[in-house]
Chains A and B, each alone.
Chain A
Amino acid sequence: MSPATTGRATTRSARRAPWSVRAGHGFVAGYVLLLIAFGVVPTCYAIYFAFTNANGQFTGIANFTDAASDFRFVPAVEHVALYLVCWLVSLAVLVVGLSLLLHRLAARGVSKALRFLYYIPGALAGAASVMVWLFLLDPSVSPVSFLLTSLGFDTFGQVVDTGNLPVLFTLIAFWTGAGGWIVVMYGALNNIPHEVIEAARIDGASAWQTARRIQIPMLRKWIVYMVILAFAGGTQLFVEPQLLTQASVGVAGRDYSLNQLSYDFAFQNNDVNTAAAISVELLLIGLVVAAVFVARSGFFDAD
């Protein structure tokens, strides 16, 4: 694609400006094609299906009200919201806390080794991490079964009770995802000029005061970046509850999240229109969050 286009462009050389313009288009052509095919078209498709019925007739917001009035919809929204609260709070507090502690470690080698160690579970993203936690949460085989029984859980069924799921999914997400963010926060802490920290120390600031008054405020934009990405990802909860449903024979985690509900509408009920309506809602949340972040944070100044 791109060589052909640029090749044609170069034969007409002479004028430099349009030359480079055409070359630019040639270079991005492949990407634009993919962007249209797998970004723009599915979005349009979702919108089209969300506003029509099985016969292709326009139905207004009927699919949206259908979805919202489904008995599983409101609970799914609550589940995802509850999970997001647990996940985002623990992520922000623990990642920042651990990064600060690691940064204060005198032994650099130990700090580095720990960062790598925290990072390893990241390799188990996706279904693999859920497998591991299915075992860990089953009192009959878990290496921490004493913890589970001391909390009053004697069977797998009791552990995966619906009320516990936000905490359990948070555990899984934190276990796989926190390490990467700790490394990032640590890098950001390293970027704080050390004169600033030194000055605070000379003024008699304790470690806690230094962290609260200087380091955390200077990490603010990184924390926001992390929370936004975690929020967007968290609304898409799917693999964890889906595999848990399988592992508990449909008892726990069934239709737990919005993505599962959309999936079930499409593939269990053969109702792609309502499924698309839910997708559009999720899409809207994702778009708004991303757009606000790009526009307001100054993180991605486009030039």
Chain B
Amino acid sequence: MSSTHSDAEAALPVDSRRSRRTTGRGPGNPLPALVLALFAIFFLLPVLWLVLAATKTDDQLVHNNPLSFGSFHALSANWHALTGYQDDVIFQWLRNSAVYSFFALVITLAVAIPAGYAMAMTEFRGRRALLIATLVVMLMPNATLVVPLFLEINAVHLIGSMWSVILPYAFYPFGVYLAYIYFSTALPRELLEAARLDGCSELGVFRRVALPLAAPIVALVGFFSFVANWTNYFLPYVLLPESKQFPVQVGLGTLLNDVPQFNPTVGSLAVERPELALATLLAITPVLVVFLFSQRFLVAGMLAGATKS
């Protein structure tokens, strides 16, 4: 890692219009490059190890070089053992995660985009209060409300229903805030005025003028909501009592319970550690794919979360 890094640094001309970035010390000091390379190892090594771990037997995991490739045979054996666990329950968990995240995503978009639009572009009583409430709730971590949410949902007898996680997921103030920022900065008011003068109804203005321009924000809110819901653990852990309803994140915890090295009381159900590694890989794949395809979106969102011009 470190060698390729400094090679690349040496190979590229330090000059050009980018030279302003190289204030101060020249390429003579190796320390910054070393620090950056060490952190690259810190961030990447665990991911690499995880991928390789899934290709080994438990014995190889302990005795072989940690960064060696096991065999395709072992990988397929792990796959069969994992999918055999409780009759394919891993697929059920993945499907649950997908269903919960998808429905929550649809509701979030249907609710957050019009709300952000209205707060940015229309006047109504309580608009400012709603905006401030949104900001405060957005900055509050949602784990705070998990136990009270359980009490509430218990009171309306929805415990165990998939809506008990989908609806709380769908409440996504950060998405509303992003939509608000987007519409208030990117949508010229004159455009709306013109449409209104042409006799467009308020709904028509939203549908014909605002929505067609909203593609970037729909994608942004969609990605954020998907990642947040897919990786949520505490809420489904509390609200869904049965294994068949778990999303894959909670399912991982169930698998962990049956790994003998971590829980010596496990009997014949034992899950080998490489199977757990494989399950973890399966659990993160959808998010990783989203990450790879939408890095720019996600970053833009994090930046937008804190700036408003």
Residues of A near any B CB (own CB < 8 A): 2-3, 6-7, 9-10, 13, 16, 19-28, 30-32, 34-35, 37-39, 41-43, 45-46, 49, 97-98, 101-110, 114, 116-128, 131-136, 138, 140-145, 175, 179-180, 183-184, 187, 194, 197-198, 200-201, 205-208, 210, 222, 225, 228-229, 232-233, 235-236, 238-239, 242-243, 246-249, 259, 262-263, 266-267, 272, 275-276, 278-279, 282-283, 286-287, 289-291, 293-294, 299-303
Instruction: Given contacts A39-B173, A123-B291, A242-B253, list 10 more A-B pairs with CB under 8 A.
Output: A24-B118, A34-B167, A34-B171, A42-B148, A43-B145, A134-B256, A140-B261, A232-B141, A236-B141, A300-B135
* Given A21-B124, A38-B168; A46-B147 close (CB under 8 Å): yes
Q: Can you name the residue of chain A whose Cβ is closest to the Cβ of B124?
A: A24
Q: Can you name the residue of chain A whose Cβ is closest to the Cβ of B300?
A: A187
* Given A133-B46, A207-B23, A290-B140; A42-B234 close (CB under 8 Å): no
The CA of A79 and the CA of B292, in the complex, are separated in Å by 36
The CA of A282 and the CA of B141, in the complex, are separated in Å by 10
C-beta contact mask, B275-309 vs A, less than 8 Å → 1, else 0? 01100100110011011000100110011001010
Q: Are B24 and A262 in contact (CB under 8 A)?
A: no
Q: List 16 A-B contacts (CB under 8 A).
A: A23-B124, A35-B134, A46-B151, A104-B24, A110-B12, A124-B47, A131-B256, A135-B277, A143-B46, A143-B49, A207-B24, A246-B257, A246-B263, A249-B265, A259-B234, A276-B147
Residues of B near any A CB (own CB < 8 A): 5, 8-9, 12, 14, 18-25, 27, 32, 35-36, 39-40, 42-47, 49-50, 53, 61-62, 66-67, 110-112, 114-115, 117-119, 122-125, 127-128, 130-141, 143-152, 155, 167-168, 170-171, 173, 176, 196, 201-203, 206, 227, 231-234, 237-238, 249-250, 252-253, 256-257, 259, 261-265, 273, 276-277, 280, 283-284, 287-288, 290-291, 295, 298-299, 302-303, 306, 308
CB-CB < 8 A to A123: which residues of B?
Answer: 284, 287-288, 290-291
Interface of A is mostly: helix
Q: Are B170 and A34 in contact (CB under 8 A)?
A: yes
